[in-house]
């Protein structure tokens, strides 16, 4: 398949691994964070870590949109879903995310009208087909998915839809990265940057990482050769004494992003003063709410949403996994009390979660062997 098969060529992968081995300094360990959960899954699906020298370590970052939704927001969603006559719509990966007592799937089993959709436009179509019922779309995602929510709301406004609202949980990637870079818990030497987010926001947004924190970042695609090439580019920056933003994913990511997507986001959203992230706490200006012009479509304004704040379960170490402080298998409940069938934390149920990647690809505990 064009644009897929050529990025999964095993021989080219071996050649890139050999170049990384030749360029890496065995005496100077390099700890790299892949920000995006999509990268984490590719890394474990294709066992890319096994191709790297012992001096290059990959740790996993906070870029999984489902993983960072706190329990309180799930509880709020469940409370909304139980409203009489209301149709609650969300992406499928939200259905099994644990709230404090239940999941949305449990609420559905008990009679709430919870429906899985593939896009916000599907939710709008449900509203169109059910004019006598309120329809809420539970929006999640980083800048990658926010434009589709924004375009849907623009269309809802143009059509004068009175029975469609959005519970907005869109988050932005820069504030948690700044929080990580300022955290004393973690020493990172560079980043594999979020290719999908950058299709919208461009690479320019990440120039603060080398400028303010002296760390390099390479914006990366998601196929195995993309990721290996990005790691090689980071190793080469270290070798050459450079520290900059580089773009490996040039076939998709322009430096200034997608201006039309940014324009509709600016029209529909505004930054929330604070937002609670699972395991990371409250981070200022890290999430999007609906702008004044779209307030009538805000489910949190139209309905009585409890707005609960719930502490993560004591056994849950999702926060440390999302900050790259521990590997999933180091969590004390990984694979025992917490499995994809009975998850305690979000990182185990999300298709982009690091714990799900380790569990699904059999990386239960893997100390690294020297290559
Ligand atoms: S194993 Fe479960 S509780 Fe532990 S970090 Fe992963 S998802 Fe969270």
**How is residue 210 written in tokens?**
């080398």
Looking at residue 371, its pLDDT comes to: 42
Give the model's confidence band at 192: pLDDT under 50 very low, under 70 low, under 90 confident, else very high: very high
pLDDT for the residue numbered 258: 98
Residue 314: pLDDT band (50, 70, 90) is confident
Half-sphere exposure of 190 (CA within 13 A, CB side): 26
**Rounded Cα gap, residues 32 and 236, in angstroms:** 13
Residue 37 host element (H or E): helix 37-45
Residue 282 above 70 pLDDT?
yes
Ligand 1 site-directed mutation target among 312, 338, 340, most atoms within 8 Å of CB: 338
What percent of the chain is predicted at pLDDT more than 70? 98
Minimum mean pLDDT range among 101-110, 195-204, 276-285, 362-371: 362-371
φ/ψ of 110, rounded to 5, equals: -90, 5
Q: Which residues line ligand 1 (CB under 6 A)?
A: 316-318, 321, 328, 331, 333-334, 338, 343-345, 347-348, 355
pLDDT score at 364: 63
The number of residues making up the chain comes to 371
- In this prediction, residues 197-201 reach a mean pLDDT of 98
Q: What is the mean pLDDT of residues 206-222?
A: 97
Mutate to test the pocket of ligand 1, among 331, 335, 337, 351 (most ligand atoms within 8 A of CB): 331
pLDDT band at 5 (very low <50, low <70, confident <90, very high): confident
48 within some domain: yes
- Does residue 249 have a pLDDT over 50? yes
**pLDDT digits over 60-75, tens only?**
999 999 999 999 999 9
Give the E-state strand segments of the chain in sequence order: 30-36, 56-63, 87-90, 113-116, 135-141, 164-170, 190-194, 217-220, 245-247, 269-271, 274-277, 281-284, 288-290
CA angle 332, 337, 343 (to 5 degrees): 105
CB 195 within 8 A of CB 252: yes
pLDDT band at 363 (very low <50, low <70, confident <90, very high): low
Residue 225 lies in a domain: yes
Flag whether 13 is in a domain. yes
Compute the chain's Rg from CA coordinates: 21
Q: Compute, in angstroms, the gap from residue 292 CA to the centroid of ligand 1.
A: 38
Q: What is the domain extent for residue 29?
A: 5-63+184-247
Q: What is the pLDDT of residue 366?
A: 52
> Residue 145: inside a domain, yes or no?
no
**Rounded to the nearest whole angstrom, what is the distance from the C-alpha of residue 159 to the centroid of ligand 1?**
43
Instruction: Tell me, yes or no, whether 83 lies in a domain.
Output: no
Distances in Å between the Cα of 111 and the Cα atoms of 81, 108, 125, 295 are 10, 5, 22, 29
Measuring from atom 3 of ligand 1, which residue has the nearest CA? 316
- What's the pLDDT at 315? 87
- Separation of alpha carbons 295 and 303, rounded Å: 12
Q: Is residue 218 part of a domain?
A: yes
Give CA–CA dist 93/191, Å, rounded: 26
Asked whether residue 1 carries a pLDDT value surpassing 80, the answer given is no
Q: Number of structural domains, the chain? A: 1
Has residue 148 been placed in a domain? no
Q: Dihedral sign, CA of 319, 74, 334, 340?
A: negative
Q: For 133-191, what is each residue's pLDDT tens digit?
A: 999 999 999 999 999 999 999 999 999 999 999 999 999 999 999 999 998 877 899 99
> Which phi and psi angles does 305 have, rounded to 5°?
-90, 130
Tokens of 329: 């298998």
Confidence of residue 370 (pLDDT cuts 50, 70, 90): very low
Strands 217-220 and 245-247: parallel
Q: What is the pLDDT of residue 185?
A: 72
User: Is the pLDDT assigned to residue 316 strictly greater than 80?
Assistant: yes
Please state the atom number of ligand 1 nearest to the C-alpha of residue 315. Answer: 3
Average pLDDT over residues 273-300: 95
- Which CATH number fits the domain that encloses residue 20? 3.40.50.11750
Residue 101 has pLDDT above 60, yes or no: yes
Closest CA to 169 of 263, 312, 71, 85: 71
Task: Please tell me the distance from the alpha carbon of residue 50 to that of residue 32, in angstroms, as a whole number.
Answer: 15
Tokens representing 250 are 């040039």
Please, what is the average pLDDT of the chain?
94
Q: Is the residue at 317 inside a domain?
A: no
SS3 of 173, please? coil
CB 256 within 8 Å of CB 80: no
Task: Please tell me the distance between residue 95's alpha carbon and the centre of ligand 1 in angstroms.
Answer: 17
Looking at the CA of residue 348, tell me the nearest atom of ligand 1.
7
Instruction: Say what the pTM is.
Output: 0.93
**Distance of CA 134 from the midpoint of ligand 1 (Å):** 35
Per-residue tokens: 35: 């920000």
């Amino acid at each position: 398949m064009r644009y897929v098969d050529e990025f999964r060529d095993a021989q080219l992968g071996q050649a890139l691994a050999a170049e990384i081995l030749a360029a890496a300094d065995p005496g100077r360990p390099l700890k790299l964070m892949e920000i995006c959960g999509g990268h984490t899954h590719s890394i474990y699906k294709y066992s890319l870590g096994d191709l790297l020298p012992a001096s290059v370590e990959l740790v996993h970052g906070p870029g999984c949109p489902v993983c960072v939704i706190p329990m309180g927001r799930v509880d709020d969603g469940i409370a909304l879903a139980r409203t009489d006559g209301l149709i609650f719509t969300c992406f499928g990966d939200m259905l099994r995310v644990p709230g404090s007592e239940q999941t949305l799937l449990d609420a559905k089993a008990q009679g709430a009208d919870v429906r899985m959709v593939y896009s916000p436009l599907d939710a709008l179509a449900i509203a169109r087909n059910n004019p006598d019922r309120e329809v809420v779309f539970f929006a999640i995602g980083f800048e990658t998915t926010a434009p589709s929510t924004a375009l849907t709301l623009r269309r809802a406004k143009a059509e004068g839809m009175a029975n469609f609202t959005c519970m907005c949980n869109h988050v932005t990637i820069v504030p948690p990265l700044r929080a990580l870079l300022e955290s004393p818990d973690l020493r990172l030497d560079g980043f594999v940057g979020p290719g999908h987010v950058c299709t919208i926001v461009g690479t320019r947004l990440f120039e603060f990482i080398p400028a303010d924190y002296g760390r390099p970042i390479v914006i990366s695609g998601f196929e195995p050769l993309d990721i290996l090439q990005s790691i090689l580019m980071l190793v080469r920056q270290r070798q050459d004494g450079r520290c900059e933003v580089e773009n490996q994913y040039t076939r998709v990511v322009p430096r200034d992003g997608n201006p039309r997507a940014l324009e509709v986001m600016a029209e529909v959203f505004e930054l929330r003063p604070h937002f609670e992230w699972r395991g990371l706490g409250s981070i200022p200006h890290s999430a999007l709410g609906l702008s004044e012009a779209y307030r009538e479509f805000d489910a949190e304004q139209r309905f009585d949403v409890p707005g609960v704040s719930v502490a993560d379960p004591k056994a849950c170490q999702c926060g440390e996994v999302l900050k790259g402080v521990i590997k999933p298998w180091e969590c004390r409940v990984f694979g025992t009390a917490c499995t994809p069938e009975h998850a305690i934390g979000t990182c185990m149920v999300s298709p982009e979660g690091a714990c799900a990647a380790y569990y699904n690809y059999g990386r239960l505990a893997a100390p690294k062997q020297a290559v």
